[in-house]
């Protein structure tokens, strides 16, 4: 619990420092892990479509991460309308850091997020981030994260969702791929 307290304290400090530019807080959980993310809308400072996000994934799964994974990201986003619904597309990347067990890993992972709204209040989305060996450092040789979710807009500024997330990493001179996360989760997102 001490590790989660220090990770959440870091995230709360980021929230307090940037509260006037807040856009959303996203929280999801399953039996062994929780992820808390904060997204800041930089378009309020004159950078159209640009956002930054910060987050921590805390895991007590002894067979996987059993630690914290931190991320900081930057994305440009926009909407694309069609007769079938609305697409919200984000392109960018994340800096990743974790130190599970006796290894440390960091990566610069380009990626994207996509959300499709076929009917009012219902959305389906996914994300994918990948860092090959050239963008991975310390003990990491490759980083990969992807996930999918289905959400429902419960209130104008609140979403609930169910999702699945998978994260693995190749360790230099180690096993071919180490799973850090491979589970279903439930969560909510609050907009400001």
pLDDT at 18: 45
Q: What is the pLDDT of residues 91-113, one digit of tens each?
A: 999 999 998 878 899 999 999 99
Q: To the nearest whole number, what is the mean pLDDT of the chain?
A: 87
Q: What is the pLDDT of residues 15-53, one digit of tens each?
A: 444 444 458 999 999 999 999 999 998 887 777 889 999
CA 146 to chain centre: 9
Q: What angle do CA 37, 42, 46 make, to 5 degrees?
A: 175
* Three-class HEC string of 112-178: EEEEEEEECCEEEEEEEEEECHHHEEECEEEEEEEEEEEEEEEECCEEEEEEEEEEEEEECCCCCCE
Is the CATH number of domain 2-191 2.40.128? yes
pLDDT at 53: 95
Interstrand relation of 136-138 and 68-82 (parallel, antiparallel or unpaired): unpaired
Statement: residue 145 has pLDDT above 50: yes
């Amino acid at each position: 619990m001490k590790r989660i307290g220090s990770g959440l304290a870091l995230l709360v400090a980021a929230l307090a420092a940037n509260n006037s530019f807040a856009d959303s807080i996203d929280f999801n959980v399953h039996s062994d892990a929780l992820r808390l993310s904060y997204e800041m809308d930089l378009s309020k400072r004159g950078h159209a479509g640009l956002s930054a996000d910060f987050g921590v994934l805390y895991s007590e799964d002894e067979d996987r991460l059993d630690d914290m994974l931190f991320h900081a990201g930057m994305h440009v986003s926009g909407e694309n309308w069609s007769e079938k619904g609305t697409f919200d597309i984000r392109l960018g990347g994340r800096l990743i850091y974790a130190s599970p067990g006796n290894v440390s890993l960091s990566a610069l992972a380009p990626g994207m997020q996509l959300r499709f709204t076929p009917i009012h209040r219902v959305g389906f989305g996914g994300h994918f981030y990948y860092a090959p060996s050239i963008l991975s450092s310390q003990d990491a040789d490759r980083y990969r994260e992807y996930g999918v979710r289905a959400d429902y807009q419960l209130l104008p500024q609140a979403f609930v969702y169910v999702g699945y997330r998978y994260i693995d990493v190749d360790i230099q001179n180690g096993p071919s791929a180490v799973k850090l996360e491979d589970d279903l989760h439930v969560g909510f997102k609050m907009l400001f």
